[in-house]
Structure 1
Amino acid sequence: MLRGVANVRYHTSDLEAAKRWYTELLGIEPYFNRPEYAEFRIGDYSHELGLLDNRYIGMLGGHTSTDDGPGGVVAYWHVDDVQQTFKRLLSMGATKLEEPRDFGEGFIGATVVDPFGNVLGIMDNPHYVDVLSAQGTD
């Protein structure tokens, strides 16, 4: 049923600031821009990371974080070095949510909250690397 990540959408009350922050983090400009939404293609499979202005969420029937903290699911993005990426995210203004930890069997992950209130998960995922190796694209 689920065949892969089609799009991960983060919400922001300042779209322009979010675009600048993610452009710096990713090293690329968004490939798709609208006044309410921007999108980057990233990683080995050109996954879509979208940024949606909070003003448009109600029109879509969605919601953002609650007063109790960030809401929604955690999408973990594969990275080669969790510790280094975690440090970089914190240096760029992200807030620690879960420090890097070993989930077992080679899976290491961490989460931060970006400056716009979204949970951003990072993970060294051996399965991801295995799939790349099997396809000869590592």
Structure 2
Amino acid sequence: MLQGVDEVVFFVKDIEEVKRWIQNLLQCPVVFESPEYCAVLVGNTKIGLHLRDEKNSGTGSGQVAYWHVHDMEHVIKKFQDAGCRLYRGPIRGMDGPMVCQMQDPFGNIWGFVDYSVLNPSCD
């Protein structure tokens, strides 16, 4: 039935400002733009930027999409350098991987999951 995440939508006050911030941080292309909505492509997943409205105020609460990462510390630092703050974690999740949530300067929550800690390479 479900085949994977197609898109994660953030409800934002200023699409242009958030678009520039995401592009600067992730170096990803814009795949669609209109006055009320913009989409950028990160891997095979779109991040949609939708203007806040009466149904979604953009407070960051609710569902959180978790992005696969291979170096949690590096990702945390990169996002902190871009103005994000730790929101939850990093902690070891109940099923073993490291998980973390960060809040961006616009109030959106980004989730990260690192499964590499389950099978660390031998040095």
TM range (shorter): 0.7 to 0.9
Would the aligned equivalents of 2:29 and 2:41 in 1 still touch at CA under 8 Å?
no
Structure 1 partner of 2:4 = 4
Aligned-residue offset at 1:105: 5.2
Compare the two structures and name the one with the higher strand fraction.
2
Aligned-residue offset at 1:48: 1.3
Runs of 4+ aligned residues of structure 1 deviating over 6 Å after TM superposition are none
Structure 2 partner of 1:25 = 25
Structure 2 partner of 1:48 = 46
* CA displacement, residues 27-48 of structure 1 (integer Å, 9 cap, x when unaligned): 12312111111111222xx111
1:97-112 residue pairs with structure 2 within 5 A? 97-103=87-93, 106-112=96-102
Q: Output the amino acid matched with 1:94.
A: C
* CA displacement, residues 82-116 of structure 1 (integer Å, 9 cap, x when unaligned): 11101111111112101312115541111011111
Would the aligned equivalents of 1:93 and 1:114 in 2 still touch at CA under 8 Å?
yes
1:1-138 residue pairs with structure 2 within 5 A? 1-43=1-43, 46-54=44-52, 57-58=53-54, 62-65=55-58, 70-103=60-93, 106-125=96-115
Aligned residues: 116
Unaligned 5+ runs, structure 1: 127-138
Would the aligned equivalents of 2:11 and 2:56 in 1 still touch at CA under 8 Å?
no
Aligned-residue offset at 1:80: 1.3
Aligned to 1:31, the other structure's residue is in SS state strand
Q: TM-score, normalised by structure 1?
A: 0.75
Would the aligned equivalents of 1:14 and 1:116 in 2 still touch at CA under 8 Å?
no
Compare the two structures and name the one with the higher helix fraction.
1
Aligned to 1:48, the other structure's residue is in SS state strand
Unaligned 5+ runs, structure 2: 117-123
Aligned to 2:22, the other structure's residue is in SS state helix
CA-based RMSD = 1.7
Q: Percent identity?
A: 34
Q: TM-score, normalised by structure 2?
A: 0.84
